[in-house]
Structure 1
Amino acid sequence: MSVKRWTGKESQLLRLAVRKTIRQFASDIGVSGRMVSKWEAGGIKVVPRPSNQLALDTVLSCAGPEVQERFATSLTEQAAIDADPRTETLLAQKAAYHRHPVDGRLMALVGEGMYLSGETGEAQWLDAFYIDVFPTTNADYGRFVAATGRSAPKHWGVTGRCPDDLFDHPVVWVTWHDAQAYAGWAGKALPTSHQWEKAARGAKGNIYPWGDRATAAKCNVRDSGIGHTTPVGRYRSGASPYNVYDLCGNTWEWCATRSVPGRYELKGSAYTSPFERAAPSSFNDANSDMCDDDTSFRCVAEHPWSRMDVKP
């Protein structure tokens, strides 16, 4: 990854990502500790000189993937805070969820009633339902594979075991049939496109899960420059009115709604797609046998089935 222009804000986030003191970080860059302190105190108002910009570029490019991931996460969250005054409240919010009795996953209740759907805001009535708070992760899918003997996704490799660093990323390389099989095993169902859209937009038909403001920093899309899936709980400020995550970006998600014979709707956009495709009202579909590195799913369940509230 790269930074177009370093300011004191990005410099501080990088120092925290490499987990060094001001003196240690200053030594890496070749400046005094007093200089680094001045940058951090000035924040976005301070722009280091070109030679120091190059030094910061070098520190970032030479950092390991874990450091770069920490830096990207901090940069994304800071950008979201800067763009939306609600963010700090949302980040601190502790929503009550419900744990499904079969697969144990956290689900959010979407109450019955009307919601405004599609680009034209057409009123639709839906009965109450539960929806998974997060997309199905590799860890979730691993339990399904172990219980049923179904083939593992191709990115798990010849061992058929998920890489340790992807446990909390959405499972990918799954067809619609794979998603449907998981839902059946868990005693759930894939969401209809209307259920998925209401969970994303709320009853008032927000353009995006977080509201009507186009803020690419709140999701993992091509514009973010990350280039791969991210942990499902990363974009907290991008949660929907029902506190459901990753309903914009990260991965496309299979729905139960058939568009034409053999094809089913996909919702949510992905890290491979531009932000302009991320609006939950957007239409996309694919052949039921399609699988790719940017396609996943989540499930829904009937209401009621449990009254046990839990904290994430």
Structure 2
Amino acid sequence: MSIREFAAHLGISERMVSKWEAGSESIVPRPVNQSALDTSLAASGPEVQERFARKLDLTPSGFSPPQRTVVHPGTENGGPDAVLAGDETQIRHPIDGKLMTLADAGVFFAGEQNEPVYLAGFYIDVYPTTNTDYGRYVAATDAEPPEHWIDGRPPANQLDHPVVFVAWHDANAYSQWAGKALPTAHGWEKAARGTRGDIYPWGDQRTPAKCNCRES
């Protein structure tokens, strides 16, 4: 990687990477940056890890790279059910059948002040929960259907529309039924903004074509 690419990969400034290179062994990264470095190494292939060990003159018996630990769906932010993800960046959830993607462990910029925050890896749904998805939950649990459904069924022409007229408690109950958990504020922000602190998922520019609202 170039310095620019590596800095973006870690979620830090290019100046910081140059400072590390200049300082060499005298540099002690901040804990949040060290976690990002450890995560990057753990996610690298065996050839990169071997080169790392050789560069630092580490013997095979003394080198144990950090594990790439991510959270199993439904156990966001760690816990006893955390599992190793390997290369499974996308999975099909076994209960509700929805496609989920991995938000890798590492640092991202949070809030208006772009404060560096480290998050463990977690999976998040790729697509919103549709009326069809929610209908399976209603049928399985006898939960109260949304108010605009007719006879407990969604309108036939809206089966693939995101479910609406559900409160937070309804969404949380669906998540528990599916063996998942609603994203935390930080998890949601990282999934939306990425690791570089973009204002929008696609970057920092306001793009009318990507505005999904009545006015557009």
State TM-score, norm by structure 1. 0.40
The CA deviation at 1:142 is 0.2
Match of residue 166 from structure 1:
158
The number of residues matched between the two structures is 128
Q: Which amino acid is the alignment partner of residue 143 of structure 2?
A: R
Residue in structure 2 matching 1:128, options 121, 125, 128: 121
Q: Aligned-residue CA RMSD in angstroms? A: 1.1
User: Does 1:137 find its partner at 2:149?
Assistant: no
* Secondary structure in 1 matching 2:171: helix
Structure 2: 5+ residue stretches without partners: 1-88
Q: Which amino acid is the alignment partner of residue 201 of structure 1?
A: R
Match of residue 178 from structure 1:
170
Match of residue 208 from structure 1:
200
Q: Contact conserved, 1:216 with 1:223, CA < 8 A, in 2?
A: no
User: Does 1:217 find its partner at 2:203?
Assistant: no
The CA deviation at 1:119 is 1.5
Structure 1: 5+ residue stretches without partners: 1-95, 225-312
Give me the whole-angstrom Cα distance separating, in 2, the residues matched to 1:223 and 1:103.
Answer: 33
Matches within 5 A, 1:1-312: 97-157=90-150, 159-224=151-216
The CA deviation at 1:216 is 2.3
* Secondary structure in 1 matching 2:148: helix
The CA deviation at 1:126 is 0.4
The CA deviation at 1:217 is 1.2
Give me the whole-angstrom Cα distance separating, in 2, the residues matched to 1:166 and 1:192.
Answer: 28
Runs of 4+ in structure 1 off by over 2 angstroms are none
Give me the whole-angstrom Cα distance separating, in 1, the residues matched to 2:205 and 2:167.
Answer: 33
Q: Contact conserved, 1:137 with 1:170, CA < 8 A, in 2?
A: yes
Give me the whole-angstrom Cα distance separating, in 1, the residues matched to 2:161 and 2:211.
Answer: 14
State TM-score, norm by structure 2. 0.57
